[in-house]
Amino acid sequence: MLLDRILKSLVQVGQLTVLSPGGRKDVYGDLSHDMAQGLRPVTIRLSTKQLRRKIALNPDPAFGEAYMDGTLVFEEGDLWGLFEILGINARLRDGTAVPETGLARMIGKFLKHINQFNNSRISRQNVAHHYDLSRDLYQLFLDEDMQYSCAYFESPNDSLEQAQLQKKQHIAGKLHLQQGHRVLDIGCGWGGMALYLARHYGVEVLGITLSEEQLAVARQRANAMGLSNQVRFELMDYRKLTGEFDRIVSVGMFEHVGAPHFREFFGGVRSLLKPDGVALIHSIGRMSPPGITSPFIHKYIFPGGYIPALSEVLTSVEKSELWATDIEILRVHYARTLKEWRHRFVARWQEAKALYDERFCRMWEFYLAASEMSFRFDSMMVFQMQLSRHVDALPYTRDYMQQPAPDMTDSNSIETAV
């Protein structure tokens, strides 16, 4: 049986039991292995014989879809327990996954360009698919400021709220802001970063988004904080924008650009920056060579999304004649962020179910757990890339990044989401 051969190869450490129709029971792995310490046994039940073959032939998205539909259920352990077993075993194989066939690579390369053709119309549709979901859903698991990107944990004891505040402070330091600067926030989300920069640094911010839901929340927050004259939010594609800005920040948006549009994106950043301007791009990336988007993620979560290799990004930066003045790799920060989100979401499962349904909740849990696995055990990371048009746009050393925010208001406060 194909699935049996695959699981015998994949699971050497820990214990995975698969129950199939007709009373079949298969056990994989070894709980006595040194690396199995702390791993909980996991038992899954497959509802049909056909599901075994379907998962074996096309595990992504078949495994996630089976969990969503309830045709794969856990008799012992849970979804994260299974991902943890698979992740530990991947480390034993030096992080190598099941090898792709030449045909799979060719198909993936072809689909990569088809699925990432993100013109303005398609980009708007893709954004609506994910970000125009109810704000009540996101408030179930995000921090108070509704930061939907990797947090910055300075210590093991940091709360999610602390880590997200530290992320904003960390980015602000790299922007080297001066009072009165004009700042562009590309993909501003629910407005947290733009409002933070305006409130604590005295800058003027234009935040742009393609999500009508996020736009409404961001404008509402700006009004409530008395910052409407300082921060403006618009429903706009960055490709339609003109003008010049002292600073550009983009957090968690570049993953939606798509590889065919990288040069267009960085060319746009360059044209919107003043000659002495500075940009900071915060994005998910991969430490491995270029790949493809998970079919499950593309179909259900982020259509049009793509996580780039740093080599792809730097090639486009170079062709745009921008200086990469600083690059920082955040490794396990997003794994911790996703763990916090997953725990909060599962704790409020019934509220999420009331907003949507059980299948949606299973889909969302799978997305959060699979994403955490990719940052904890696989090749995913986050990079922060600082860019400028001129070589001398910033101080010679990085000391300026550690300077505290001006005392324009209490810099330790967290802006409350509406």
pLDDT 10s digits, 285-335: 999 999 888 899 989 998 888 999 999 999 999 999 999 999 999 999 999
State whether 81 and 168 are in the same domain.
no
State whether 77 and 217 are in the same domain.
no
Q: Which of 164, 396, 204, 175 is nearest to 280 (CA)?
A: 175
Q: What is the model's pLDDT at position 51? A: 95
State whether 213 and 285 are in the same domain.
yes
State whether 199 and 78 are in the same domain.
no
CATH number at residue 305: 3.40.50.150
- The Cα 257–Cα 235 span in angstroms is 17
CB 206 within 8 A of CB 234: yes
- Asked, for residue 151, whether it belongs to a domain, the answer is yes
Q: Which of 272, 167, 265, 188 is nearest to 232 (CA)?
A: 188
Q: Which residue range is the domain that position 360 belongs to?
A: 120-402
State whether 178 and 317 are in the same domain.
yes
Contacts of 381 (CB under 8 A, 6+ apart): 284, 285, 286, 287, 329, 330, 331, 334, 375
State whether 83 and 156 are in the same domain.
no
Q: Which of 295, 290, 293, 297 is nearest to 368 (CA)?
A: 297
State whether 229 and 342 are in the same domain.
yes
pLDDT 10s digits, 354-394: 999 999 999 999 999 999 999 999 999 999 999 999 999 99
State whether 252 and 291 are in the same domain.
yes
Contacts of 221 (CB under 8 A, 6+ apart): 190, 191, 195, 415, 417, 418
**DSSP for 170-189?**
HHHHHHT--TT-EEEEES-T
Q: What is the model's pLDDT at position 129? A: 63
Is residue 262 classed as helix, strand or coil in its secondary structure?
Answer: helix
pLDDT under 70: residue ranges of the chain: 94-129, 407-418
Q: What is the model's pLDDT at position 302? A: 87
- Asked, for residue 106, whether it belongs to a domain, the answer is no
Q: What is the model's pLDDT at position 257? A: 93
